[in-house]
Structure 1
Amino acid sequence: MSTTVTPSRPGPAPGLPRAGRTAQRRRGQRSRSDLLPALLFVGPATIGFLVFYVWPALRGVYYSFTDFSVLSPPTWVGTENYQDLIQDELVWNAFGVTAQYVLINIGAQTVLSLGLAVLMHRLTTSMAVRGALLLPFLVANVVVALTWFWMLDYQIGIVNGGLDWLGMDRIAFFGDSQWAIPTIAMINVWRHMGYTALLIFAGLQTIPTHLYEAASLDGSGEVRSFFTITLPLLRPVLAMVLVITVTGSFQIFDTVAVTTAGGPVNATRVVYYYIYELAFVRFDFGYASAISVVLFLVLASVAFAQIKLLRAGESDLS
């Protein structure tokens, strides 16, 4: 006599309850349904990045191993451009001039921007003040450079006119090799200082106010609170700001191009301007690409060192 066994209906799988599994299934369906709109929004920016950044960068790396001008196809020369780079005194001079500019620009800009941000945070919340600080950054850099170029002119500049009126000697701000790079650096400090201050100001707003209140109850003054509370808690923001400003400072070009054109006697011939001359004046695109690759490696190394040394990914607030 045979016995028929009726298979039982499978019960709910162990783990999440039925309501939890349903909610999880719905979230999975929602995430899949959101994928297409997300790709549509990210797609144009991704295509632009690939076409205008990644592809030119890859071609630049290839050209750095070739002898290439616009009038003839590239010819493979291996590491010859990099060997010439090591022996080129103008390249080392350009990197030295750029480093001098970066040190002046970043040092002055960081200190002044930090001071402005602290003053805004402690003394005023006026939107008019914040807007006024941002105004120089909204003006095109070429316009700023030309305006200061006329104001600092040795003969007709208002600044030298004021020095003459005070009985002081006139200064060839752009014609003296000792003054040219500091002058260009301070022009860009004036332009970017307000924008950098607003970035730091945003970081200051993340610091809890009760820390300052507790410090004041313990007898801590403004200066001591700044060094014991503000600076340590502002470190991640300062790290981000320094990475942005240092990378941007190494790419100085337009101010030099419209004021000194690399002079006097290579005193302001920064790396970007030297690359421009090689590529678009001498049409030596292969050698210019090799210097560009070296500059990219330098900037990547500097940014990586900044992030690691300043512990940009860590916060003392947690």
Structure 2
Amino acid sequence: MLTGRWAIGVDVGGTKIATALVSEGGELTARTAVPTPVAGGARAVLAAIEAQARHVAGQLATGTVLVGLGIGTGGVVDHSRGVVLSATDLLPGWAGLALADELGQRLGTRVYVDNDGNTLALGEHRFGAGRGLRDVIYATVGTGIGGGIVLGGRLRRGASHSAGELGHVPAPQAVCRRCSCGRTGHVEAAAAGPAMTDDYRRRSGDMTVCDLRVIAERAGEGDEVAAAVLAGGASTFGQALAGLVNVVDPEAVVVGGGVADIGQLFWAPMEEALRESTLPGPSRVQLKPALLGTAAPLVGAAMLAIDPEPEGNESPW
């Protein structure tokens, strides 16, 4: 039987909506995942979140305290108001949505919203690879590229709520390549999974490949084009990280996501580029794999509700 204080954590991405019950100690149960109905627009996505939240809430025992619901989502989020200020074309119709109010009214509970890079950072910082550290850059590389920055043990969201948007750091290798935000020349347009898949299709002429995992398998089997594509994306990402490391000088950089999980074919050139492009002191920064995997943004989102910030302050973690 579940006891103690629990919250519903939700991770909203362009391809799937993941949901779970999360305890104040970071324990997860009742995890679900459904495709994100982006073709139906924002209302369809809201309905899917509501349905999943009701489903997992039904797993709680009578008398167990459900303190609220936390959501991590793609886009720039005003956390204090629970409003999505802007979003990429991965979530069409999402910009301008008062997500906390909309779902709070539907579900009759407190709802907290943040950028999914921030919720990932919160999860890893409290229960994962960043536990016990004060200054950490968190990055995730998958369908898109995101992250969060923790300084002095506190999450930094920035003056316009855009701190940690690692995918939109300018990268010379991405010149003329369109990013999901609509602009060109950002690291996401060269190093995210779809970008590297498109690169492989162009360079190999094999238009049947639609999954980066296939490219990774081919690279492991000796496909030189596949290996070069992975190394190029990884190096681009490593150089972008290096610029941030030089500015922030953190104790550690924690990297996760489906692309990073490919292994050394991505990790080794990423680390080499990072260390070659940093100053002597910051070049010794710890580079750590994320520990919580896909649970990190769910845990971090739930912590928004379980341990909410005092009004007007940054994260207590």
TM-score higher than 0.5? no
Q: TM-score normalised to the size of structure 2?
A: 0.25
Point out which structure has higher relative CO (alpha carbons under 8 A, 6+ apart): 1
> What is the TM-score with the length of structure 1 in the denominator?
0.24
Relative to its length, the structure with more helix (as a share) is: 1
Greater share of residues in strand: 2
